Amino acid sequence: MRWIVLAGLAFFLALFALTTFAPADADIEAQARTHFSTTDIERGREFSFQRRLLFWTGTFLQLAVLAGIVFSGLARKLADSCLTWTRGRWLLAVLLVGAVCYLAEEAVALPVALARLENLRAWGMTRRSTSDWLLERCLSHGLSAVAEGIVLVGLYLLMRCVPRAWPVLAALGGMAVGVVFALILPIWIAPLFNTFTPLEKTEWGYLREPVAELARRGGVPVDEILVMDASRQGSHTNAYFTGFGGTRRIVLYDTLLRQHMKAKDWREVEVILAHEMGHWQHDHIVTGIMIGGVAALAGFCLLSWILQRLVGRPPLRLTSPHDPAGVPLLMLLVVVGTWLAAPVGNAISRHFERQADLVSLEMTRNPEIFIDAEIRLARDNISNVTPNRWSILFMATHPPAVERIRMAEDGKKSSEAGR
């Protein structure tokens, strides 16, 4: 068992060191220098370095808490106590063990999260008060605790009732949960945190017609473009495509519109909107849920094998695979598994982003404006425009800014050659 802990520690230490300290590849560095000033590059590096240190502190603390509970034998004692408190009510004990671990994780995560907020303030990325931030954190954690509780109950019921086929059923159930979540996220959950106003009712209402025209050209039936009051949380600029079936919509941050609209020239917003329409055209949310289902099936099969092997063995001495003492291990394996699968997951996500970029370039046929928008996005969000290959592999859901710029330049060259 000791070697498992040591291997895990070595893996995460290596990951931390490589993603944080390795230098960027020479071509990314050279590309960045042609589009960004030295100040922009240095600022982005410094900001991302500080964020990285805080992020890894949080990750190591979370791993230490969960691994400590699992490997010290505490998980066994905790499960036995919960079974005693609940007078042997097994499902309640499962939930209780999960709740204790969740609270233990939050106890170590909160100070780091506060430091991250302070860091954002220091960089002028937010001016929100701590009490406002704390209120929002309570709400989001309350919601995720409820969601995770439901998932945990479903999973353990399946493990107990269908001991052989549960991984398949759980993966199918996971996909159904994904669909429901995608469906309700924009209409029930997101509005708890922000106000969403139809574009036509905002100060940018005059964009309604050009946006409708763009949607017609892209062949996407967009009937809702919403503006989110992201300025409530900070100055981060973004746009996203969300929802499922009838709840599909495109959301633009008010911060994005303020930064990218120059007088009434909307061309930078146009390329960003067209990118979101690209996600719509390619049905990325549906594809994402299906790929997630396949990944979940592999993960559940592995989990089933591990839980079976641990029956009667230290440190958990499970009485059965669905013993509540396995819950902390399940939580730990989710974290570790997510990191192990990150290179594949991120590569798929970056592929989706490239597809959406291509749609945007084809729809708007204005690579110069696309490049301007990319540069502004990176600058406004103090992005690290010279990420190293390890941080791209394990942490980047989007291609580096310079890669997206290069794609626009390549498109420009080939269209000029075709003329």
Burial 265-275 (b: 16+ CB within 10 A, else e): ebbbbbbbbbb
What sign does the dihedral 70-74-75-76 (CA atoms) show? positive
Count of positions on this chain that bind Zn ion (CB under 5 A)? 2
Region 186-245 residues binding Zn ion, contact defined as CB under 5 A: none
Our CB check for Zn ion shows the closer of 353 and 403 to be 353
Q: Which of residues 296-355 bind Zn ion (CB under 5 A)?
A: 353
CB of 105 to Zn ion, least distance (A): 30
Strand partners for 228: 196, 253
CB 194 within 8 A of CB 229: yes
CB of 353 to Zn ion, least distance (A): 5
Site for Zn ion in 386-415 (CB under 5 A): none
Minimum separation from the CB atom of position 362 to Zn ion (A): 15
Residues 113-172 contacting Zn ion, CB under 5 A: none
* Least distance to Zn ion, CB of residue 356, Å: 5
Q: Which two tokens stand for residue 1?
A: 């068992």
* Spatial CA neighbour of 105 closest among 314, 340, 318, 335: 335
Shortest Cβ 216–Zn ion spacing (Å): 21
- In the complex with Zn ion, the residue whose CB is nearer, 239 or 333, is 239
284-309 and 166-184 helices cross at what angle (nearest 10)?
140
- Residue 245 buriedness (CB in 10 A; 0-12 / 13-18 / 19+): exposed
Which is closer to Zn ion, CB of 270 or CB of 353?
353
Q: Which is nearer to Zn ion, 20 or 281 (CB)?
A: 281
Structure tokens at 172: 């199918």
The first and second tokens of residue 29, run together, are 């560095």
Q: How far is the CB of 255 from Zn ion (least distance, A)?
A: 17
Q: Whats the size of the chain, residue-wise?
A: 419
Q: Are strands 196-198 and 249-253 parallel, antiparallel or unpaired?
A: unpaired
Least separation in angstroms between CB 374 and Zn ion? 12
Determine the interface stretch with Zn ion among 261-269, 290-298, 356-364, 375-383 (rule: CB under 5 A): 356-364
Helices (H), strands (E): how many in the chain?
15, 4
Tracing tokens 């390619």 back to the chain, one arrives at: 282
Quick one: which of 198, 195, 206, 202 has its CA closest to 225? 198
Q: For residue 132, which phi and psi values (nearest 5 degrees)?
A: -65, -45
Indicate the residue among 276 and 323 with the shorter CB distance to Zn ion. Answer: 276
Q: Which residue, 105 or 270, has its beta carbon nearer to Zn ion?
A: 270
How far apart are CB 186 and Zn ion at their closest, in Å? 16
**CB of 270 or CB of 323, closer to Zn ion:** 270
- Measured from the CB atom, the residue of 75 and 396 that comes closer to Zn ion is 396
Which residues contact Zn ion by CB under 5 A?
A: 353, 356
